[in-house]
Amino acid sequence: MNNEETNIKKLSQKAVRILTERNDIMENKRTIANRLICYFVGLFIMTIGIALSVKSDLGVSPVSSIPYTLTVCWGIEMGRATILFHCVLIVIQVLILRKNFKLKSLLQLPVGIVFGYFTTFCNSLADRLPSTDNFFIRICMILISVVLVAIGIFMYLPADIMPLAGEGVMQAVSDTLKTEFSKVKVAFDVTMVIISLITCFIVKHSLGSVGVGTVIASLFVGIVLGQIKKPWAKRSNPSMK
């Protein structure tokens, strides 16, 4: 009788353990699925914001300035230019990190391809919007763009799937030079804008991809992102005021 009770007890414990493991596996799958959804929805919202800044014709954000410069100067479709730019940035990471470059970072390439196709699709949607010379309306488009880019970053970054190639380069420089990421980002953005300005002046004799919208995006995306984060920070930490 004791042996039977012992066997039943062992079987019960085993059943409970199996059910617990299955529940954990299901929970992990749901978590991964939610992260992937947030990641790609965030990227898509970012590209909507970028498309609006392109439509405003007042300049795009610093990170998008190089792909848009390729579009303005040589007529390369912006989605394809974005993919090409991501490929160059991955090569730069390899040159910077060398032996420290991780093979999983090559996943930035398919992410860049998806981001490029998102850019193409969103630009095609933005093209259907009526064009206007009204400066106020164009500024409103830039401001909406800033909010959408900030929302996209807010959704895409916490998912922690794979950074875009631009952030990959910034992180590589930060790790190699032992410099704060925020400082590297500022330097990176300034470099992109300068390259775009010089290229557009030489080829088109105009500002091209750089304008008041570029300045607004540089100044306010971070501010808007911080404002979006505040309510969530308070919700996750009720002790915060």
Residue 133 in domain? yes
**Of 73, 58, 52, which is closest to residue 119 (Cα–Cα)?**
52
Query: Residue 23, Cβ neighbours under 10 Å: how many?
Result: 10
Q: Which of 38-42, 44-48, 211-215, 230-234 has the lowest mean pLDDT?
A: 230-234
- Is residue 21 included in any domain, yes or no? no
**Predicted model pTM:** 0.84
* Number of domains forming the structure of the chain: 1
Residue 97 located in a structural domain: yes
pLDDT digits (tens, 9 = 90+) for 113-144: 999 999 999 999 999 998 888 999 999 999 99
User: Quick check: is 19 in a domain?
Assistant: no
Flag whether 22 is in a domain. no
Say which amino acid occupies 62.
P
Half-sphere exposure of 157 (CA within 13 A, CB side): 11
Q: Which of these ranges, 1-10, 89-98, 216-225, has the smallest mean pLDDT?
A: 1-10
Within-domain flag for 12: no
Tell whether 23 is covered by a domain: no
Range of the domain at 133: 34-236
pLDDT band per the 50, 70, 90 thresholds, residue 46 = very high
Q: Is 9 among the domain residues?
A: no
